[in-house]
Structure 1
Amino acid sequence: MNWFKKLALWITVLFVFVSASFSFFPNKTNAEENDPLGLKAEAAILVDAETGAILYEKNANVVLGVASMAKMMTEYLVLEAIEEEKITWDQKVMINEYVHKLSGAPGLSNIGLTQGEEYTVKELYEAMAIFSANAASVALAELVAGTEKNFVTKMNEKAEELGLEDYKFVNSTGLNNSSLMGNHPAGGPDEENVMSARATAKLAYYLLKDYPEVLDTASVPVLKFRDGREYKNFNWMLPTLVYAYPGVDGLKTGSTEFAGDGFTATAERDGKRFISVVMKTSSKEERFAETKKLLDYAFGSFTKQEVHPENGKIKGKETLPVTKGKEDQIKIETKDAISLMMKKGKEEDFETVLTLDKKKLNDEGQLTAPIKKGDKVGTLTVKPKDGSEIEFLSKDGIKSITVDVVAAESVEKANWFVLSMRAIGGFFGDIWGSVSSTVKGWF
């Protein structure tokens, strides 16, 4: 009996040890599935720059400090003002006392701006976009909106217009309001701009889409300013800089004590462009190392694949029935090709889905002649076979995987005589069918 009790005790101890082992050493496979890249960033996202398709995300909806990555919104509004001819690149901006003092504030990224001296919009924009100059950002904000406070209102309004979620702008620079020498334009005295990784990527997506010329400046490794000095771009992944990465040509870094170190990058190679965001890393070096992981993953694992060709037939639905036409069938095809950024080797995981325009069909599902070649009859879209949805930054992305289905030929309307004969034939056909059924019922 004692021997049995000892055995039971040993079994119990062993069971407890094994259970504890699983508790202290979690399943690595599950962890890898949740974050296959093992990023150290607090939040991150990777998207296809062309469509906004989300290819990877980690805590993408968590709201964090965005630091100087908020300057992407300042850039957007400046470029918009240029486009709308409210300001010009060669327009002169007089530097006031506040902007001058801010440009010399210790510990901040700045290019010294002399009070009473004039600088062009282009000079200030380059200082902001390349060297993240905070005083230059304020000078541009005041030019565009009269005051930085008014400009912040425009920032938040534009964010809503672009469909961003999880954001709050309190200044044009991304600094903590406590660093603005008592002139915080919105929010509390210690507030900062905050965004989620998803919102940050969406801002970058629209900035590139609406104003691709932003890369002309963002891609400049070193700014040569009028003071005779050279200022290296804080994006150290640009060519010739310390963490140079093939294809990187933007977009914006950010760093404060509250936000940590973040980076919104974009890179293009072999006809593929991606946008990546990492937020709240522990150092400037780490933000570039984590971005490299994302971009390596993007270029190494994803390919743009044509899912359905232009003028392609739809398998299983090559024709549609037609009523009142010289022909009783019409061929249909896709107007354009459908392409999708997907993981390599995953082509078989997707299928196309046809949706016909019910307004153009009668109760029997027929199109009514006349029908002209090119007339739209429906749409074709791509979906994963497992029933999930392809996720995009915006609803516009759905349009990139949806194409019109059109008539591949014309069908003229039959003349009145043909239609009359068909009607008569149908009438007698119905009578004959009724008689046949009755006769069969007798036997």
Structure 2
Amino acid sequence: MIGFIQKPAAAAENIDINANAVILIDAETGKILYEKNAETVLGIASMTKMMTEYLLLEAVKEGKVKWDQTFTISPELSKMSHDDDLSNVYLRVDSAYTVEDLYSAMAIESANAATVAIAEIVAGSEANFVKLMNEKAEELGLGDFKFVNSTGLNNRDLAKHFPDVVGGAEEENVMSARAVAKLAYQILKDFPEVLETSSIPEKTFAEGTKDRFVMDNWNWMLEGYRDIADRYSYYQQFTYEGLDGLKTGSTNFAGFCFTGTASRDGVRYITVVMGTKSQTERFVETKKLLDFAFNNFSKEELVPAEYVVKGTETVPVSKGKEDQVKVHSADAISSIVTPAEQENFDTVVKLDKDKLNEEGALTAPIKKGDKIGTVTIQFKDGEAVYLSSEGQKSMTVDLIAAENVEKANWFVLMMRGIGGFFGDLWGSVSSTVKGWF
């Protein structure tokens, strides 16, 4: 982990989130703005499906899977899809469904049999897919995780239809809130199109067949519910401006969970709430987090492009027509901050030692735009914590030369050498003479 926890805002002390684990991050950089028990490993239920989505979207991007390709349903999958104790859409034996339809069923209805179908499409079997899940989690650096199935179900519910489960008979997928946030952060970075589906409040599956089913998104905070029929009026108390994802989940083991994301005025936040006591409480607590974020933070340009750091306006130059070069930042540095943080930071310059001689000078020639070092923002109240080192890098930009410095010709260098020799000689004589008196 980079840095140490910085208290985001005084208001954070007044937040009372009724959940077993919570985290709030900036979706652009992964900066952690608030967390509680975020490293505790807990059940994640159907939030699991974000990893299944990631692997499917990756397979589509790599051309291994196509949205319009079809998949034929096995008797086992069909039986599972008719298990009314599980969230599902009905799938018929020997019927073919497109990958896109199965994906929509998974993302919107949290359909479990459709999810297993996607696992089989991508990896050939559920067991192979679970292996891919754990490998990808390791690759993404999620840290605290264990996947035993593609759905987030307890293995006993999966074993009713597929006895050869991965892991123990009563196991479920587990992650820390921080790991879940990082998965959400990564899927939004790599596949932002995931929001096109996660933001759909209602969609019809198997239109025109006897299995026609209206899928209601389990995410009741979506704004689109306001435009749907009166039967959704109950959901309107939870809708949240700018919220468009990502995934709910619930089991007896995990409690009620929700990974949310909302965007306003070009700023996006990600929230994770784990282990609430009811279906609605997860949305109430998410609203508290998002209100805290939008009311206390804003994205501000802390350092503009071509910023000149006081005390490092120039860098010495050796063998150049000029003996120094002007320097400034290459780019601006922006961050999600509180009003107090906007002025409460230092700019730290670090010169590239490999480019300096023994006297600490650059050697000409130097071209405008050459990288000379870095400029970093450091908050005085403590270095902010990010989900990864990539986020920390957002606080650093290159320090570059603001002008050209040509190499001096041999004659100038010679005369400087002679001048330096006689200057040193005169200095030595002067010191000796002064010593006589």
Once the two structures are superposed, the pairs formed by residues 341-360 of structure 1 within 5 Å of their partners are: 341-360=336-355
2: CA distance, partners of 1:321 / 1:328 = 6
Does 1:75 pair with 2:53?
A: yes
Aligned to 1:218: 198
Q: Given the alignment, which residue of 219, 223, 235 partners 1:235?
A: 219
Report SS of the residue matched to 2:322: coil
Aligned position for 1:423: 417
2: CA distance between counterparts of 1:72 and 1:313? 44
State the AA in 2 paired with 1:224: T
Matched AA of 2:290: L
SS at match of 2:129: helix
**In structure 2, which of residues 85, 88, 112 is the aligned counterpart of residue 107 of structure 1?**
85
The alpha-carbon deviation at position 347 of structure 1 amounts to 1.2
Q: Is the 8 A contact 1:104 1:112 kept in 2?
A: yes
Aligned residues of 2:329 and 2:398 also touching (Cα < 8 A): yes
Classify the secondary structure of the residue corresponding to 1:240.
helix
Query: 1:329 and 1:142 mapped to 2: Cα distance?
Result: 64
> Is the CA contact (8 Å cut-off) linking 1:178 and 1:184 kept in structure 2?
no
Q: Using the alignment, how far apart are the partners of 2:404 and 2:76 within structure 1?
A: 70
Letter of the 2:372 partner, please give it.
V
The answer to whether residue 382 in structure 2 is matched with residue 398 in structure 1 is no
Q: Where does structure 2 lack aligned partners over 5 or more consecutive residues?
A: 1-9, 226-234
**Is the 8 Å Cα contact of residues 44 and 197 (structure 1) preserved in structure 2?**
yes
Match of 1:322 among 317, 327, 351: 317
SS of 1:186 mapped into structure 2? coil
1:257 aligns with 2:241: no
Do residues 377 (structure 1) and 372 (structure 2) align?
Answer: yes
Contact 1:304 1:342 in 2 (8 A): yes
Q: Give 1:107 deviation, angstroms.
A: 1.5
Which among 410, 414, 434 is matched to residue 408 of structure 2? 414
Match of 2:228 in 1: none
Q: Is contact 1:204-1:275 (8 Å) kept?
A: yes
Percent identity of paired positions between Structure 1 and Structure 2: 62
Higher relative contact order (CA closer than 8 Å, sequence separation 6+):
2
Q: How many residues align?
A: 411
**Alignment RMSD:** 1.1
Cα distance per residue 1:131-160 (max 9 Å; x no partner): 100000000001100110000000000000
Q: Please report how far the alpha carbon of residue 251 of structure 1 lies from its aligned counterpart in structure 2 after TM superposition.
A: 0.2
Query: Is this contact kept in 2: 1:171–1:184, CA < 8 A?
Result: no
TM-score, structure 2 length as denominator?
A: 0.92
Amino acid at match of 2:436: W
1:21-420 equivalent positions in 2, closer than 5 A: 35-180=13-158, 181=160, 182-226=162-206, 227-241=211-225, 242=235, 243-386=238-381, 388-420=382-414
CA distance in 2, matches of 1:109, 1:256: 11
Q: CA deviation at 1:35?
A: 4.8
Q: CA deviation at 1:346?
A: 2.2
2:426 corresponds to which of 412, 422, 432: 432
Q: Which runs of 5+ in 1 are unaligned?
A: 1-31
1:4 is matched with: none
**1:34 Cα deviation (Å)?**
7.8
Aligned residue type for 1:331: K
Whether the 8 Å CA contact 1:177–1:184 is kept in 2: the answer is: no
* TM-score (normalised: structure 1): 0.91
Q: Higher Cα Rg: structure 1 or 2?
A: 1
Counterpart CA distance in 2 for 1:306 and 1:33 is 22
